[in-house]
Amino acid sequence: MEEKKKEEIKSDLVKFSKSKDYYKKIGKAWKRGYLLFGPPGTGKSTMIAAMENFLEYDVYDLELTTVMDNTQLRRLLIETSTKSIIVIEDIDCSLNLTGQRKNKKEEEDEDGDDKEAIEKKMMKNEGDKKESKVTLSGLLNFIDGLLSACGGERIIVFTTNFVDKLDPALIRKGRMDKHIEMSYCGFEAFKVLAKNYLDVVEKIKITRADVGENLLPKSEGEEGETCLRRLIEAFKEEKEEAKRRVEEGAKQKKDKEEEKKRRKEKKAEKEAKEEEEKKKKKIEENGDAEH
C-alpha cells in the first residue's frame, strides 16, 4: 500500500479512537464502518489484522450463514465488547441480501410453470429450516439500529471482492463510512514486500543512467526479460557493494576507536610517569632541605 494511503488510514483510526466526546456531542453511536473491496489476494484480511494490532482492539469474525435469524444477530451484537472490530468477510457471498429486494413479478418469472413452482417451494421450505433467516433489514439494524448504540468504540468491517453486488443501502455513508480499495500490487507495495521477504536494501545507489543502460537491449533479438534480469543482477552487485562499504566503514570506525583508546592509554601512562618523577624530585628536595 502507498505510504500516503497507509498514513491516511492510520490517522483516521487514531482520530476515531479519541473521539468519544465528539460522538457524544453530536448524538451518534461511537462506531465507524470500513468497507474493504478489491480482487482476491490484495490484502483485505491482512489490513484487518493490521488494524487490530494498531488499535489493540478485540476482533469478532462474524459468519452470517451460521446466524439463524435477526434476533440472534442482535444478541451477538450486545455480547461484543467495547474497543472491538466486528468483521464480516466476503459479505457478497455470505447471504443473498440484495436478492431480497426483488419484486413480485421477478419472483413469478423465476418460478416458471406451476409444477416447477411447487417443487421449488417445497425445496425452499426444507432449506429454510437449516439456512439463515437473517434479512437485509436485520443486517442494516445491526449496523446502525438502536442496539448499535449500546456500548461504544466499535469498528464494523465488511470485505468483498465485488462491491457492485452489494445493496447501496448496506454500504452508504453512515454505515460504511470509509471505502478503501485494495488494488493490485503497485511499485510502492512491491518495494515493501521485497524488503520484508528478501531483505532487499530499500535505497540502492544506482543512477537512472545505469538503469537505462541495463534495460537497453544489447542485440536485435534480445527480449525484455533478459534486460530485466540484467537489471536485477546490477541491483545485486550494488547491494553487495553497499554491504562492503558498510563493513569497511564499520572497520574504519573500529580502527579509529582502537587508535583513540591506545593514544588515551599512552597519554595516561605518560602522565602517571611524569607524576611519579615529580614525587621523587620533591622527596629529594625535602631531604636536601633537612640537611
Q: Is the pLDDT of residue 57 over 80?
A: yes
Q: Which of 65-79, 113-127, 146-160 has the lowest mean pLDDT?
A: 113-127
How big is the chain by its Cα radius of gyration, in Å? 35
CATH 3.40.50.300 fits 3-95+132-189, yes or no: yes
CB 29 within 8 Å of CB 200: no
Alpha helices, DSSP H, located in the chain: 3-17, 20-26, 44-55, 70-79, 91-94, 104-111, 114-128, 136-144, 168-171, 187-198, 208-215, 224-290
Which sequence spans correspond to the domains of the chain?
3-95+132-189, 201-266
Q: Are strands 154-160 and 178-181 parallel, antiparallel or unpaired?
A: unpaired
Q: How confident is the model at residue 9 (pLDDT cuts 50, 70, 90)?
A: very high
Residue 76 has a pLDDT of 86
pLDDT tens digits for 154-197?
Answer: 899 999 998 888 888 888 888 898 999 988 887 777 777 777 77
Joined together, the cell numbers standing for residue 219 give 542485440
pLDDT mean over 96-108: 51
Q: How confident is the model at residue 15 (pLDDT cuts 50, 70, 90)?
A: very high
